[in-house]
Amino acid sequence: MFIVDNYLLAVIFCFITMLCWGSWGNTQKMAAKSWRYELFYWDYVIGMALFSLLIAFTMGSIGHEGRPFLEDIAQVSVRNALGIMLGGVIFNASNILLSASVSIAGMAVAFPLGVGISLVLGTVVNYIGAPKGNPAALFAGVALIGAAIVCNGIASGKLQKDRKSGAGKGILLAVLAGTLMAFFYRFVAASMDLDNFASPAAGKATPYTAIVIFSSGVLLSNCIFNTLVMRRPFAGEPVSYREYFRGNMKTHLVGILGGAVWCLGTAFSYIASGKAGAAVSYALGQGAPMVAAIWGVFIWKEFKGASKGIYTLLGIMFMLFIAGLGLIVVSGN
């Protein structure tokens, strides 16, 4: 299997993760023109599961180091497999809430709040579970990103007040999503041998096996979670499976692309965690809110017509995010 063997390459993988995690929401925005997010989410999850198999049978099965995918998945212990699946279930619950928030409040609000909260809490959880890197630089970076989240929250609140919009529910959903999302990565990391991907301990999973099992947990739990949301949506009328099967191929492919983009980012995060450490890998990847905010502000114009003070807060948010991410990169050296 392909293994990252130096810190610089691990950081590059983490930045790709950040771009993927911050950009998949564009596919939801594209599909939203004619497609409810609950229906989009089925295609998203299917895309995630299919891409996890693709990367497992390519990058996870080439080279001379480590165990190839089929050999690795056959020896993973039940305990570790269940731990990874639990991570998938937790992630899916949080991501459905995040998708609901995007549909109500937009990317520029949902991602910085939801994923930003997840970054702060998740980095602490993952560092406690697998301490690696300079804690002073790491948590200073996290503190700066926490300040960026506060700026985004203030800007979002001002925008909501100015427009007298109903985005309050979207903000609440983002906070709930971020709190839940902070815990999924630790279950996955605990089931891998982060110290030695080349010769991992028996019963532990390689990153490629982990992403496949993780995606299975997402897909299985989606049969429960998304069905409930379809019947009792956070906004709008209930939707049925009949409506899903009436969707055209182009719309389905957009959702599948979104899942594939997210899965690529997650797989690269797992692969990089061996050299960067779980906390740094997770924290860098969760710089996604800055990417999503850029999409939301400059491409989707979600803050169009906002006051100068709101744009000032957004500018401060971007600067704090960049400074925080810089400190997180330095912390791993």
pLDDT, position 161: 66
pLDDT, position 298: 83
Are the C-beta atoms of residues 133 and 279 closer than 8 Å to each other?
A: yes
Asked if residue 50 belongs to a domain, the reply is yes
Angle between helices 308-331 and 278-285 (to 10 degrees): 160
**Beta carbons within 8 Å of 53's beta carbon, 6+ residues apart:** 212
pLDDT, position 122: 85
Q: How many CB atoms lie within 10 A of CB 137?
A: 18
pTM, two decimal places: 0.86
pLDDT, position 120: 82
**DSSP three-state, residue 204:** coil
Asked if residue 2 belongs to a domain, the reply is no
pLDDT < 50: residue spans in the chain? none
**Beta carbons within 8 Å of 29's beta carbon, 6+ residues apart:** 102, 107, 300
Asked if residue 1 belongs to a domain, the reply is no
Query: How far is residue 303's CA from residue 113's CA, in Å, rounded to a whole number?
Result: 15
Asked if residue 145 belongs to a domain, the reply is yes
205 pairs with which residues across the strands? 192
Number of domains, the chain:
1
pLDDT, position 284: 77
Asked if residue 162 belongs to a domain, the reply is yes
* Main-chain dihedrals φ then ψ at residue 133, nearest 5 degrees: 105, 175
Asked if residue 153 belongs to a domain, the reply is yes
User: Residue 134, class by beta-carbon neighbours within 10 Å (0-12 exposed, 13-18 middle, 19+ buried)?
Assistant: middle
pLDDT, position 167: 64
Range of the domain at 300: 7-331
